Structure formats: structure tokens, C-alpha cells
């Protein structure tokens, strides 16, 4: 047997080793994806939470109104270009700030992050000043209730009966309504209610005295207090500045003619807590000290806190012949000089109401 020579075997080719870095990336691709995502999240968080809150100068005051919310505050920051993704801040606030926005005036220092500002606003103790908002046409009772609920106001007189309160405030009137000027005020945190009310009274009297000195001639007011009463009625009848002098003119002419004012806001004020949003015919016929449907002349006191524009209008009624007005149903009022035109305006108003139902 002849042995056949063996074919030489080819040497096995060794696999070329992959670079170590490529192998690591393949093995840890999920880790890499997580790192990239973490970087993206970090950038987003920094851009919306941890970057400095932009201010002018080294310090800036930030006012938060009563009833304001984090949502509205965050939306304002987006509108002002301070943040780009408000949803990030809203999520952060929802899960990590377990409190509401607190009214007050806060000091923001240069370098404070947006997150630090948001946290600061959740604690009224951080407020440097307290913002007191008094709205035109609200009542003295509402002003007192707001002061009672304000944690940044030191209570010394708000729980007293009105007569004792006025005495403590050294105010020479029998009734507090209308005597305090509506406006936006800033007081030191912890300021007393006595100081706040004294300042508001002083501002209102200053406005009243100045406007009384500039009043038109032959107004049917015995004194400036009656002008203040009229201003409060005007304030409650219209919120449109261009109508203030027209409404004033209607009521001034009615006083001169001996007509009853017949204004619903006085009836509502006289009803007090009985008023539940509607006036019935029975309410219009029920005599009270404030029902100008059953009584002649002005009510005994103001019925709300009138602002500067309403006080000025009470001193400067328009010079038309109008003695009637009624709402249009679409905002504003229709003024008339005679009953026929007024009745037509009333029918138009009722037609507008029916079309909306």
C-alpha cells in the first residue's frame, strides 16, 4: 500500500480583533443612550430651572398679587422670554413644591436661579413687602375681610365693631363706606391694619378735597360727603371710563328735577346679606335706607369704595339732557333724554338678551 502524501492544511485565519472602543459601544449601547438622554434632560433643566433668573441690576423686586398661581407666573415667564419650556417648571412645581404661590413683594438677588425664585415664592415669610390691592367698586366689608385673611398684616382694629374702628382710626364719620381709596399699595411685611387703613383714608380724603375744590358750579350736593356718595353710585353703575360723566349727568339732573335716582346698586347695598345675585320686584318695592326706588335724593352713605375717576366724574357731570340710561346687552349703556326713547332702548336691551338665550 502506497501512502499518499498528505495535503498540507491551510493555516486557520485568525479573526482580526475589533477595536476595544467599538466593542465597548456595542455592549453598552443602552447605557450610552441613557447618558445622552441624561445630558439632554440636564440641558433642559438648566435652561429652565437652574439658570439665573434674569434681572436688571443686582436686586429687583417681584410683586405677586393675591390669588395669583404658579401656572400664571410660569406662563408670564415664558411670555417674557425667561424660559423656553414652561411644562418643565409646571411639572417641577406640581411634584416638588407642595404649596401655593403666596402674595407679597419679594427681593430677587442677582445669581438666584429660577428654581430658587419659585421655591421662595411659596413661603410668605420670604416676602419683603406686602401688596395690598383694593379694587374700585368693592365695599368696605370686602376690604376688611381681605385684611383679616392676609397673613402679612398685623391685626389691631379689623375685628372691632365699625364704630369703635372709626374711633381708633380717628376718622370723624359715622360710617366707613367709601372713605378708603382703591389702589395698589405696598406695605412692609407685618404692617398693622391701623396704618394701612389710615393711609387709605388719607389718600381718599386728599382726592376728595382736591376734586371738591375743582368741582363744577351749581352741583346739587350739600357738601363733599354727598359728592362721595354720588361717586360711589357712579362707580357701581359703569366700569367704562367714557361713561362716568354721562352717568353722573343723569343722576345730577334727576336730583335737580326731584326725580328718584332709581339705581339698582343702592337697592343691592340696602339688602345686605339678603342679596343672592338677583333683584326681584318685591325688592324694588321694599323700603330701606338705601332703596332709591322708594326714597328721594341720595342714600345716607356711599355704597362702595369709589376710585379717583368716579370722584372726578361726580364733580363734573356731562352737559347733555339725558335723564335715563339702560344697558345695551353688549357692553355699555344707552342714554336717553325722554321716556319714549328710553322705553325703546329697554326693548332693544331685552331683545339682545333673548337672542343670547
The reported pLDDT for the residue numbered 23 is 59
Q: What is the CATH number of domain 321-357?
A: 3.30.160.60
For residues 320-329, give the mean pLDDT. 92
Short-list 274, 275, 249, 266, CA closest to 300: 266
Separation CA 163–CA 166 (nearest Å): 5
Instruction: Give the residue extent of every domain in the chain.
Output: 44-126, 140-317, 321-357
User: How confident is the model at residue 14, as a pLDDT?
Assistant: 56
Q: Answer whether residue 256 shows pLDDT above 80.
A: yes
Q: What is the per-residue pLDDT for 40?
A: 53
CATH number of 44-126: 3.30.1490
Mean predicted lDDT score pLDDT of the chain: 88
pLDDT of residue 11 exceeding 60? no
Q: What is the DSSP string of 264-324?
A: HHHHHHHHGGG--S---HHHHHS--TT-TTTS-S--SS-SS---HHHHHHHHS---S---E
Is residue 12 pLDDT above 80, yes or no?
A: no
Dihedral of the CA atoms 301, 306, 310, 316 (nearest 10)?
40
Average of pLDDT values for 254-260?
96
**Is 313 a residue whose pLDDT tops 70?**
yes
Regarding predicted confidence, which is higher, 55 or 169? 169
Place 269 in a pLDDT band, splitting at 50, 70 and 90: very high
- Asked whether the predicted pLDDT for residue 35 surpasses 70, the reply is no
Phi, psi of 192 (to 5 degrees): -80, 150
Q: Is the pLDDT confidence value at 42 over 80?
A: no
List pLDDT tens digits, range 51-80. 899 988 888 888 888 788 999 999 999 999
**What angle do helix axes 193-213 and 224-237 make, rounded to 10 degrees?**
100
What's the order of all strands across the beta sheet hosting 59-64?
59-64, 104-109, 129-134, 183-188
Instruction: Give the distance from CA 178 to its chain's centroid.
Output: 20
| Residue listed under C-alpha cell 381718599 | 204
pLDDT digits (tens, 9 = 90+) for 197-255: 999 999 999 999 999 999 999 999 999 999 999 999 999 999 999 999 999 999 999 99
Q: Per-residue pLDDT averaged across 114-138, rounded?
A: 90
Q: Quote the CA–CA distance of 188 and 61 in Å, as a whole number.
A: 13
Nearest Cα residue to 352 out of 321, 324, 331: 331
Q: Looking at residue 302, what is its pLDDT?
A: 98
Whole-number pLDDT of residue 259: 96
Ramachandran angles phi, psi of 26, nearest 5°: -65, -40
Amino acid at each position: 500500500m502506497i501512502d499518499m502524501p498528505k495535503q498540507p492544511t491551510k493555516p486557520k485565519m485568525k479573526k482580526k480583533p475589533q477595536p476595544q472602543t467599538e466593542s465597548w459601544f456595542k455592549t453598552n449601547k443602552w447605557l450610552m443612550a441613557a447618558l445622552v438622554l441624561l445630558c439632554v434632560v440636564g440641558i433642559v433643566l438648566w435652561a429652565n430651572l437652574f439658570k439665573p433668573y434674569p434681572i436688571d441690576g443686582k436686586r429687583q423686586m417681584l410683586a405677586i398679587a393675591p390669588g395669583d398661581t404658579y401656572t400664571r407666573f410660569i406662563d408670564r415667564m415664558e411670555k417674557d422670554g425667561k424660559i423656553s419650556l414652561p411644562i418643565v417648571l409646571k411639572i417641577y412645581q406640581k411634584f416638588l413644591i407642595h404649596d401655593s404661590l403666596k402674595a407679597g413683594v419679594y427681593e430677587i438677588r442677582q445669581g438666584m436661579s429660577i428654581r430658587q425664585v419659585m421655591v421662595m415664592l411659596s413661603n410668605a415669610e420670604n416676602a419683603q413687602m406686602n401688596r395690598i390691592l383694593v379694587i374700585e367698586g368693592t365695599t368696605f366689608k370686602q376690604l376688611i375681610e381681605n385684611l383679616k385673611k392676609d397673613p402679612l398684616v398685623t391685626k389691631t382694629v379689623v375685628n372691632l365693631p365699625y364704630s369703635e374702628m372709626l374711633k381708633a382710626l380717628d376718622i370723624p364719620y359715622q360710617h366707613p363706606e367709601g372713605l378708603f381709596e382703591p389702589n395698589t399699595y405696598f406695605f412692609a411685611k407685618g404692617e398693622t391694619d391701623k396704618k394701612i387703613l389710615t393711609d387709605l383714608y388719607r389718600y381718599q380724603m386728599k382726592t376728595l378735597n382736591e376734586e371738591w375744590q375743582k368741582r363744577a358750579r351749581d352741583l346739587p350736593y350739600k357738601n363733599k360727603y354727598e359728592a362721595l356718595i354720588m361717586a360711589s353710585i357712579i362707580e357701581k353703575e359703569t366700569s367704562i371710563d367714557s361713561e362716568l360723566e354721562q352717568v353722573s349727568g343723569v343722576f345730577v339732573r334727576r336730583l335737580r328735577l326731584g326725580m328718584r335716582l332709581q339705581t339698582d346698586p343702592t337697592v343691592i347695598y340696602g339688602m345686605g346679606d339678603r342679596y343672592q345675585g338677583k333683584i326681584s320686584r318685591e325688592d324694588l318695592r321694599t323700603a330701606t335706607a338705601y332703596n332709591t326706588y322708594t326714597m328721594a335724593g341720595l342714600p345716607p352713605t356711599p355704597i362702595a369704595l369709589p376710585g379717583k375717576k368716579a370722584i372726578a366724574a361726580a364733580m363734573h357731570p356731562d352737559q347733555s339732557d339725558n335723564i335715563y340710561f339702560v344697558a345695551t346687552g353688549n357692553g355699555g349703556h344707552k342714554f336717553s333724554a325722554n321716556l319714549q326713547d328710553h322705553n325703546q332702548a329697554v326693548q332693544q336691551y331685552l331683545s339682545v338678551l333673548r337672542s343670547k338665550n
